[in-house]
């Protein structure tokens, strides 16, 4: 088993594994962010391995370890890399409380950030992947990290997770994108991961100022429509989508209040990326 240093934004993780699918996916999707193990401080110690039981021969599985403990049930072995991605999301959202953490994709242009919050199925990851292949910088497709002291958003620039029909949509929209293997029959259906663009990786240490909050909703055959959203309602929905708003108490309230006060808030209904992208580009101009 080999250990790697994995740098994702301000976090440094130690990943120990001997699983070829995980190593191959890391090399493909995390260029410049992985090195051999170093004697350093790590935010997270993660191990991915197969159970040392007869099941490794009958129905091979993968087990996720965090600090030597198993927070999740094993998954089928072919889901090892998605399990690493989901597990790293869990590590960040459950332990990094110097940020207000919101379940939202976030992109930036000219270091001004656009948040795309929403529940699964709203189309935020699809829209995020399209935006970062249309001139926007990827900060995160899943976790918006808002500093409690500055209000700025810290980038992660990790691979974008796409599910089911979204995979084909982005393959057609951005054929130059680098895709990992498609894994079927997960709890989310078929999933794959798309490498962050090189510029997003190179600028991963540069935070962005939140200026827009757009709640996307994909609707089949709908005309693209961007409409103003009341800030009080936006605040309440963002609070519900936060992983640690209640835990942070007054600090969480202040951070979210500042974000909403300083941002323009909208609802976006769309069905075609070719219409949604220029609509959001217009916010910058």
Inter-residue contact 145 to 154 (CB < 8 Å): yes
Please give the span between the terminal C-alpha atoms of the chain, in angstroms, as a whole number.
51
> Kind of pairing, strands 11-17 and 44-49?
parallel
Q: What tokens does 55 get? A: 């099941």
pLDDT at 54: 66
Helix axes 124-132, 273-284, angle to 10 degrees: 70
pLDDT at 55: 64
pLDDT at 231: 97
pLDDT at 25: 97
Q: State the pTM of this model.
A: 0.94
Inter-residue contact 122 to 217 (CB < 8 Å): yes
pLDDT at 285: 81
> Kind of pairing, strands 112-117 and 99-109?
antiparallel
CATH classification number, 98-285, choose in 3.30.70, 3.40.50, 3.10.530, 3.40.1400:
3.40.50
Domain extents in the chain: 1-95, 98-285
pLDDT in tens, 155-189: 999 999 999 999 999 999 999 999 999 999 999 99
Instruction: Kindly give, in sequence order, each residue whose CB lies less than 8 Å from that of residue 165, ignoring residues fewer than 6 positions away.
Output: none
Instruction: Kindly give, in sequence order, each residue whose CB lies less than 8 Å from that of residue 128, ignoring residues fewer than 6 positions away.
Output: 105, 106, 107, 116, 138, 141, 160
pLDDT in tens, 250-285: 999 999 999 999 999 999 999 999 999 999 999 998
Inter-residue contact 47 to 74 (CB < 8 Å): no
| Residue ranges in the chain modelled with pLDDT below 50 | none
Per-chain mean pLDDT for the chain: 95
pLDDT at 123: 87
């Amino acid at each position: 088993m080999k250990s790697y240093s994995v740098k994702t934004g301000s976090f440094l993780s130690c990943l120990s594994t001997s699983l070829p699918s995980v190593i191959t996916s890391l090399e493909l999707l995390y260029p410049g962010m992985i090195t051999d193990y170093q004697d350093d401080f790590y935010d997270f110690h993660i191990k991915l391995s197969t159970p040392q039981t007869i099941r490794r021969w009958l129905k091979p599985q993968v087990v996720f370890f965090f600090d030597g403990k198993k927070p999740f049930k094993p998954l089928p072995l072919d889901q090892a890399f998605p399990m690493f991605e989901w597990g790293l999301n869990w590590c960040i959202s459950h332990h990094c409380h110097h940020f207000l953490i919101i379940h939202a994709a976030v992109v930036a242009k000219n270091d001004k950030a656009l948040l795309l919050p929403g529940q699964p199925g709203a189309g935020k990851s699809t829209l995020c992947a399209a935006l970062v292949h249309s001139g926007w910088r990827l900060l995160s497709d899943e976790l918006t990290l808002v500093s409690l002291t500055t209000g700025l958003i810290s980038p992660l620039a990790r691979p974008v997770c796409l599910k089911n029909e979204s995979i084909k949509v982005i393959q057609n929209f951005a054929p130059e994108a680098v895709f990992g293997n498609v894994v079927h029959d997960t709890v989310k259906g078929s999933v794959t991961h798309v490498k962050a663009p090189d510029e997003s990786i190179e600028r991963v240490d540069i935070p962005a100022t939140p200026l827009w909050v757009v709640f996307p909703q994909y609707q089949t055959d709908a005309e693209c429509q961007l409409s103003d959203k009341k800030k009080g309602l936006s605040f309440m929905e963002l609070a519900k989508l936060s992983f640690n708003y209640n835990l942070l108490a007054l600090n969480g309230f202040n951070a979210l209040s500042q974000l909403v006060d300083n941002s323009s808030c909208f609802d976006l209904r769309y069905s075609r990326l070719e219409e949604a992208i220029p609509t959001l580009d217009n916010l910058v101009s």
